[in-house]
Chains A and B, each alone.
Chain A
Amino acid sequence: MIPVEVSSVKKYYGNIKAVDGVSFSVNEGEVFALLGPNGAGKTTLIEIMEGLRKRDDGIVKVLGLDPWKNGSTLHRRIGVIPQDFTFFDKATPREAVKYYADLFGVTVDVDKMLREVVLDDSARILFENLSGGQKQKMGLALSLVNSAELLFLDEPTTGLDPNARRAIWNVIRGLRSKGRTVILTTHYLDEAEQLSDRVAIMNHGLVVAMGTPEEIIETHGSGERLEIHGTEELANYLKTNTKLQVEYKGKDLISIVLSQEHDALATLTAIEESGFKWHDLHTKRDSLDDVFVKLVSGRIDEKGEVSLEDANNNSRNHERR
């Protein structure tokens, strides 16, 4: 069975198209990341899949069930960390796990569970006194209580320090090795790249790219480039005297697209012939980060709403959050 199937799903809030016709499916045992800036529609989409929000249009099947209509049946079989996970201030992680186990009617080894998420040292600290990372770990522990076959983790590491993030990553890797299916939202590119088998990049309620990180880079990246430090005159010389795609990026940096094998050689020959000075020659390939910035700001550009610079600032802001 395909754990998650989403087809042409839409959710509008007045004029705002939070999710504007999204389709994808997630395979069993896969870690699938929804990547995108804030406001891209990730949380709305994940909440529709969890049965917390009603969709306006489209079809959603989660573990074969309609999440909105069969919510209570579905909830016994999925584990969830909602965005901004919270709990009763005056309860400890140990009590929380016991509470969830009681609600789900399962027996769990509380200590083992807390050890698994590296929270055993804070088992008896009240929730209100836990750090942000400890709170997220507790959320993760609660999502594991019912041994769900499918987990939804909505921004599980947002705002956490590197150590706490790595601890949570390890738990997610552990889930993957146990064959669990995980759907993850994040606006951290490294997180998506590190953890997921496949990524869907969302922007303005749409999926703008989908596939393994390599596939996305291959499809949407600009391929391999040669980067060289030299003056604008050198760049102009290359543009006039070769058929190469040359771009002067400012600050003495020239970028040349290597679309054919002999392009590198042709570039070097032309540089030598020009007599201009140059240094620091290296080749570069787009990372997921480059592709992400391009895709996200590209969409904004197409609609003509935000300038490229604003879009870049926006994506940086999202990174920080």
Chain B
Amino acid sequence: MVSLKRIISDLRVFGRGYLRNIVGLFFGLIFPVILIVIFGMIFAPSSSGKITLYVQNQDGGQISNSFVNALNNTTTVEPVLISPQNFSQYLSAHSASDGLIIPSNFSADYVAGKQVNLILYGNPSQSSSAIVSGTVTALVNQFNLNYYHGTSVIGISQTTAQTHVTKYIDFLVPGLIGFSILVSPMFSLVNISSEYKRIKLFKQLSLTPLTKMEWLASKVLFYILLGVASFLLMVVVGVLAFSADVVLSVWLIPFLILGPMLFASLGMLVGTVSKNTETAAVVGNIISFPMMFLSGTFFPISLMPMYLRDFAHILPLYYIIEGLNAVMVYSNYAQATTDLIVVAIITVVFFAAAVRLFKWRED
């Protein structure tokens, strides 16, 4: 018979021990928040998000000045004027790849209708160079059109695919919630299950009425509580500090319950089948690290090459993060239901395997 009283009393001792351990607290609650702050700051959309373009204006005439002004008025490029000197040396000295030279006869030739070429420096492997090139080409076309007093026939009116624009932080919050759902229970259970086996603490506990099922249930319960605390903390930081736009719904509850249960069971399995603490740590890392980076934790999975996207489908965390995204970002509950079913099946399998393979005592 499973006794709730024993589960609670084990939970109390374990939880108190956890809160007294600064390392556990750091990785459980503080580390995910630090990640959200760091990544949030790195990828925050900023007003000066333009690409710097070094411009050497050898002409200085009216037309060249208005070309530079036009560049300045774009949303993508910020021209920085530099004095006459060796241009390519200047660029490499400033570790810059994007530059533009306006030749000395630019204004006069333009007025005279004589062919004149701008010299554009760029690095084909960098996306910033492509943006610069596109912007400069568009301006050149506009100036050519103006020369003949022409007007555009085809125009573009821009809009976005979603009802609201999703920002990086909107993906980061569910991603890092998934991250903390994985990291705390997984690493902790890998460690304690192999360590308790080593110091024979399981054997000792087997001499009490506590059952292994109750012991595991109390750990799962603890990591659900920790997961919820970490979830609230991350949502608050994401919303207040980075204006994350996330939907909070009851749909999140099953993910926050099943997630820690899944990874606590997986950690338990790894610790149980590994011969010693060192092997357990290595196996735990081999399983956790690919999952940590390839499940859409730090960036949307759509940015990855196709074969990695296929690979991600075998990672349990993928379904948790996809489900969290479906609820928090897209409010797509059909998708969330599919993910939830997958997560529930994996969880049941892992939990049952952990309870079955994990032994209190030896033969």
Residues of A within 8 A of B (CB): 50-54, 71-72, 75-76, 78, 80, 82, 84-91, 95-96, 98-100, 102-105, 126
Contacts and interface: CB of A to CB of B under 8 A. Distances in A.
Contacts of A95: 13, 16
Given A52-B207, A53-B363, 8 more contacts: A52-B362, A71-B361, A76-B209, A78-B207, A86-B201, A87-B204, A89-B17, A102-B6
B207 A86 contact: no
B208 interface: yes
A103 B206 CA distance: 11
Given A52-B203, A99-B9, A91 B16 contact: yes
Contacts of B6: 102-103
B206 A52 contact: yes
A17 to B, nearest CB: 17
Contacts of B275: none
B200 A86 contact: yes
A300 to B, nearest CB: 28
B18 to A, nearest CB: 8
Contacts of A82: 200, 203-204, 207
A103 B9 contact: yes
Interface string B10-32: 10111011101100000000000
B20 A102 contact: no
Nearest to B362: A53
Contacts of A91: 13, 16-17
30 contacts: A50-B207, A52-B203, A52-B361, A52-B362, A53-B361, A53-B362, A54-B363, A72-B209, A72-B211, A78-B207, A80-B204, A80-B207, A82-B203, A86-B204, A87-B201, A87-B204, A88-B13, A88-B14, A90-B16, A91-B13, A95-B13, A99-B10, A102-B6, A102-B9, A103-B9, A103-B10, A104-B208, A104-B209, A105-B5, A126-B20
B199 interface: yes
Contacts of B257: none
Nearest to B20: A90
Given A82-B203, A95-B13, A103 B20 contact: no
B273 interface: no
Contacts of B209: 72, 75-76, 103-105
Interface of B: 5-6, 9-10, 12-14, 16-18, 20-21, 199-201, 203-204, 206-211, 361-363
Contact of A103 (B17, B18, B208): B208
Contacts of A105: 5, 209
Contact of A75 (B14, B21, B207): B207
A193 to B, nearest CB: 28
Nearest to B19: A90
B100 to A, nearest CB: 64
Contacts of A51: 361
A219 to B, nearest CB: 35
Nearest to A95: B13
Nearest to B214: A103
Given A89-B17, A95-B16, A103-B6, A75 B200 contact: no
Contacts of B204: 80, 82, 85-87
Contacts of B361: 51-53, 71
A141 to B, nearest CB: 14
Contacts of B206: 52, 71, 75
A231 B211 CA distance: 69
A99 B12 CA distance: 9
A47 to B, nearest CB: 8
A171 B200 CA distance: 25
Nearest to A103: B208
Contacts of A80: 204, 207
A103 B214 CA distance: 11
